[in-house]
A and B are shown apart, each in its own frame.
Chain A
Amino acid sequence: MAWNEWIGFIIIGFGVAFDALGCLGLLRFPDIYNRLQGATKCVTFGTCGILFGIFVMNGFTGFGIKALVAIPFVLLTSPVGAHALARGAHIFGVPLWEKSVVDHYKQDRKDKPRL
């Protein structure tokens, strides 16, 4: 194999490992907000790693450039999805984990939870 394929496979391996860790976080963390932490961060980084690995393997061809262009879109959309899920959950009154330290958002909101 050529050197760029080796490097590409190593980066893809990193990406898959972080995706797996994100899934593990999704299972292990106690409440929805912490689970979103694992889901957004690790999965975004892992997916970007896979896409960048594909770019390294293919170089400046149509395939590689498409993977590279997809990275900003993942970076832009994944946090927005997490924000929408977390805000919706909080507005509908999903409680934080009982050992949570502080919740300024709840103190500042005037309206009652809708559930």
Chain B
Amino acid sequence: MKKAILILFIFTLWLLLTWNASWQSLVAGGVTALMVGLIFGNLAVTAPMKVIQPQRWFWLLLYIPIFIWEMAKANFDVAYRVLHPKMPIHPGIVKVKTRLKSPLGIAFLANSITLTPGTFTIDLKDEYLYIHCINVRHQKLDEATKDIVSRFEKLLIKIFD
């Protein structure tokens, strides 16, 4: 099961990257995917049952446009701060708490935070994330969590936990 998922993933990636349906290409990709999948399947895929639940894929599809919208907003925000002659920044490192449990979910959360409005993740300790903000609005743990994390967390819990 785990191995089949990884083999399928690698083979799809191969097809997309080569974009070539000749039989030599298919055989080379198939053999490579088979070997890599058989060796690393148990390491790379930790929760095979989550992969085949369709509602998780639905929420992932919903997550992508939200993420792109937030990322575009973030970029205009940072661009404004770069171009402003006085540089209106109030940087600082705040601590927030996450309710996510799965490692992949936390990784996605940290990456999403890094790519969105004026914040990026510095470190993770247990369930606390340390976040550098370019413009600190809330210093308390609860308020900062509500401001920074909750937007993505609601969806990421449905996807990964």
Contact = CB atoms under 8 A, between A and B. Distances in A.
Interface of A: 18, 21, 24-25, 28-29, 31, 33-34, 36-38, 40-42, 44-45, 61-62, 65-66, 68-69, 75-76, 78-80, 82-83, 86-87, 90, 96-97, 99-106, 108
Interface residues of B, number: 39
A103 B90 CA distance: 12
Nearest to A107: B95
Among A44, A79, A87, A90, which residue has the most Cβ atoms of chain B within 10 A?
A79
B19 A66 contact: yes
Nearest to A49: B75
A41 B75 contact: yes
Main secondary structure of the interface of B (DSSP, over half): mixed
Contacts of B139: 101-102
B121 A66 contact: no
Interface of B: 13, 16-20, 71-72, 74-75, 78-79, 81-83, 87, 89-95, 110-111, 114-115, 118, 120-123, 125, 128, 130, 132, 134, 136, 139
Given A97-B91, A104-B130, A83 B114 contact: yes
A4 B87 CA distance: 38
B87 A37 contact: no
A105 B93 CA distance: 6
Main secondary structure of the interface of A (DSSP, over half): helix
Contacts of A80: 111
A69 B16 contact: yes
13 contacts: A28-B87, A29-B89, A31-B91, A38-B78, A42-B79, A83-B110, A86-B122, A90-B123, A100-B90, A101-B136, A104-B95, A105-B122, A108-B95
A41 B78 CA distance: 8
A69 B13 contact: yes
A28 B82 contact: yes
A87 B122 contact: yes
B34 to A, nearest CB: 21
For the complex of A and B, 4 pairs with smallest distance between CB atoms? A79-B114, A62-B19, A101-B92, A102-B92
A92 B121 CA distance: 17
Contact of A102 (B78, B94, B122, B128): B94
